[in-house]
Amino acid sequence: MINEYEKLLAGLDDVDWAGLSHAYGSAHDVPGHIRTLCGDDDEARKQAFNSLFNSIFHQGSRYSASPVAVPFLARIAVAGPAAARAKTMLLLTRLAVDWHDEYDVTTGINVAGWRAAAAEAGPEEFLPWYEEQLAGATDTDERTQLQEMRDWVAAGNSPDSRWSALQSYDAVLAELPGLLILLEETPVGPGLIGRAVTELTAAARSPFDRVTDYCEGDLHGHIQRTLRSLPPGSNPASVREALEACLPRIVWDSSGSRTRRAIQELFPAPLPHPAPRFADLTAAQQQLLGDLAGHLHTWLIRSSADRLRELGLPHTQEALQSYVGTHRTA
């Protein structure tokens, strides 16, 4: 352990981690992984991150150890080793909002709904049920299992994922004031939205592949949803420019809905027959068809094939590749 980071882990060994759980049972190994994040062994740090992602955030599920780990992770995100801070921040965002809910971030997550659902699934709701089952159980193994679950619930835990997810969300929410220091010290004012639109526009124009796990890697789609959710007072010309920059870029689209919307907006009417040369299309139209032609998932084209056919455009990947490739080299 590097001594300069020891203060970030104050209290880590005071937690009864063995009494907490993660995806694989007892969370006794969690403090060791957290401590490794502050070490100087890059490979060990990578393995520690993998272990934490797979245990306290397992396929989107959170556990009793998850919210308890949050304060230590927040300290590392703010003042830990440079090599650990970005990944630690990613883990914190996952513990707060998993991939099932991240698409709602730009338009607002229904936290009140979360709280209502969690209230119906709290320990106080489950405890009477476990005690009733325990009272009627006669099999020794069954009684042992029920007793363990009853004691676990009596200690303030719930087996319902809605409850455990909210505990992690609230733990990250409590750390948010301290995490805000990671943002630039720029006063929040009328110019902030304009600055955000400018930066989003620049990002939308950038030719990048999948660079983040956020929103399943669909960064252009996230930019688009963010721009569409801006308040009415935003500069419409700037927002439109930014939307036009990211609209045709289909690097990733999990459901195909964004692709179909882009086709609708960029090709509002059928093309003349025969179809124009690829080089005669607008830059945005070329970008969209080029992304589709080279897309890794052929189902994305199949889901839009009817609309492409109606427009007089090639509607299979092979035909699109021929159309785009032939005219690009002409």
Q: Contact, 31 vs 12, CB < 8 A? A: yes
Is pLDDT of 61 > 90? no
- Spatial neighbors of 181 by CB under 8 A, at least 6 apart, are 78
Q: What's the confidence (pLDDT) of residue 25?
A: 86
DSSP lists the bridge partners of residue 26 as: 21
- Spatial neighbors of 82 by CB under 8 A, at least 6 apart, are none
DSSP letter, residue 21: E
Q: What's the confidence (pLDDT) of residue 3?
A: 63
- Give per-residue pLDDT as tens, 190-229: 566 777 777 777 777 766 555 556 666 677 777 877 777 7
Overall average pLDDT of the 120-124 stretch: 84
Q: What's the confidence (pLDDT) of residue 153?
A: 85
Is pLDDT of 330 > 50? no
Identify the band that residue 327 occupies on the pLDDT scale cut at 50, 70 and 90.
very low
Q: What's the confidence (pLDDT) of residue 234?
A: 64
DSSP per-residue letters across 185-205 = ----STHHHHHHHHHHHHHHT
d(CA 43, CA 41): 6
Higher-pLDDT residue of 254, 78: 78
Q: Give the domain ranges of the chain.
A: 3-99, 191-246, 267-328
Is pLDDT of 38 > 80? yes
Q: What's the confidence (pLDDT) of residue 244?
A: 79
Identify the band that residue 329 occupies on the pLDDT scale cut at 50, 70 and 90.
very low
Q: What's the confidence (pLDDT) of residue 289?
A: 93
Q: What is the reported pTM?
A: 0.60
10 Å CB burial of residue 265 (0-12, 13-18, 19+) is middle
Q: Fill in the amino acid letter for 139.
A: D
Is pLDDT of 18 > 60? yes
Is pLDDT of 179 > 50? yes
- Give per-residue pLDDT as tens, 236-259: 777 777 777 788 888 777 778 888
Is pLDDT of 92 > 90? yes
d(CA 12, CA 34): 9
Identify the band that residue 45 occupies on the pLDDT scale cut at 50, 70 and 90.
very high
Instruction: Round the average pLDDT of the chain to a whole number and report it.
Output: 84
d(CA 56, CA 24): 9
